[in-house]
Chains A and B, each alone.
Chain A
Amino acid sequence: MSVTDQEFEQVVRGHYADVFRFALSLTKREAEACDLTQESFYLLGSKGRRVEDASKLKSWLFTTCYREFLRDERHRVRFPHIELSLVEVELPEATAERVHEMDAHVLMETLEKVDEIYRVPVMLFYLKGQAYKEIAAALAVPIGTVMSRLARGKEQLRVLLAKALQPRTDAVAAPAGPTIRERPYE
């Protein structure tokens, strides 16, 4: 598919915000997220003919954004293995009502604390509403692995959210946060 100027601008305006938010969750820095977002769209502009199906443009952008991030993160440990169980802690429950009341930047900060291996599928799940099969295709990992990471990432996020939502006076006494063992789901 050839991406014309008009189509390109339409795609940019339709998707740049979500791509930026995804990039921000990866880089944790606004300036780097802006660069990563621009780079993703630049690659679309220069290699857009490779995207065969217009309906898949957004997936292509997220995948490209992630690949460009990985390309720049040469020091990254690809498969960290975390040997701890989910810690059950007494924290305020993270509910939809509480999330509605919280600031968006607090949510973003909380998401940034989720381990990267889980954060990426979780962000794709929430930003794009992708099903696990699409996420598996985007990240080029087995479906079972994505399901495992998604479930555990969401659980990690839930506990971190509860921690973020608790009153500041309790913050000192709170545990360091959830730690999760990754296991493949078959």
Chain B
Amino acid sequence: MLSPRQPAQLFVKDHMNSEEAKFLLHTRSLELGDPEDLRMAEALEQTRRDPELLAWFNQQRALDAALHDKLQHVRVPAGLVEKILAGREARIEPRRNRHLMPLALAASIVFLISLAVFVVGRSNPPTTRFAAMQAEMALFLREFPKLDLATDRLPEVREWLARQHSLTQGSLPKALERFPGIGCRTVEWEGRKLALVCFMVEGQVVHLFVIPRSAFPDAALSSTPVLAKVGPQNTASWSNRDNLYFVVTQAGEALLQKYLLAMP
């Protein structure tokens, strides 16, 4: 806050009127520092000559500060950071040497033509929303995520699944139920809510997504887990009548083979 002081030290021929000063002071940065320019300095000096203007300015600054503070309370959607980080990893392309661009372009055209011929000859395109989700979640789980519920008790996890995702008893695969849990959380992806349950299997973290089949009608999964490497992660995907299952772990593939491929 400013307070009246001695008359201005600044040399000015004519004082600006209070309306002009108000107009300038409206634009005074929230971060108090040196006046932005000579006219702002003059407007600030005017507040020292005009108590009414000073009162208005102090009130305005308080209002500005309150608005600034209040804006910091505007809710930001959960998971936005993860989406931004996952999006970058998924979409960023390596820089290319500009001199090689024409060659790269020609090669791309040849590749695209070959790809088109290949794709046209196939009944199922290789990319689905489920596959896109798998790629993003594998990146997302490179680091252990924050959990909505941290517990090693599976009854609590089951209750959470029922409450948050309307998933019934028996939704968790028996192959993983024998291991202690770490916790669970909801991950939002393209408007879908995915249930994530984390287990500790032989000292390794194993992440399990349980997703209703209706969330990804394009996912063509069998009841036998299919193992695949996605980036640095080993994954397994399968389905039953009601749900899709997607497991992500940094543990070796042998762990998934040992427990998931032996499922009844």
A binding-site residues for B, Cβ under 8 Å: 8-9, 12-13, 16-17, 20-21, 24, 30-31, 34, 37-38, 41-42, 45-46, 94-97, 99-100, 102, 104-105, 107-108, 125-127, 129-133, 146-147, 150-151, 154-155, 157-158, 185
Contacts and interface: CB of A to CB of B under 8 A. Distances in A.
A99 B31 contact: no
B interface residue count range (under 10 / 10 to 19 / 20 to 34 / 35 or more): 35 or more
Given A95-B59, A99-B63, A129-B29, 15 more contacts: A8-B88, A21-B76, A30-B77, A41-B88, A42-B84, A42-B91, A46-B88, A99-B70, A107-B67, A107-B70, A108-B71, A125-B29, A127-B68, A132-B29, A147-B23
Given A96-B63, A185-B23, A21 B77 contact: no
A151 B23 contact: yes
B146 interface: no
Contacts of A37: 80, 84
Interface SS majority for chain B:
helix
Contacts of A158: 63
Interface SS majority for chain A:
helix
A30 B78 CA distance: 12
Interface centre among B24, B65, B67, B75 (most CB of A within 10 A): B67
A170 to B, nearest CB: 21
Contacts of A94: 63
B71 A46 contact: no
Nearest to B143: A9
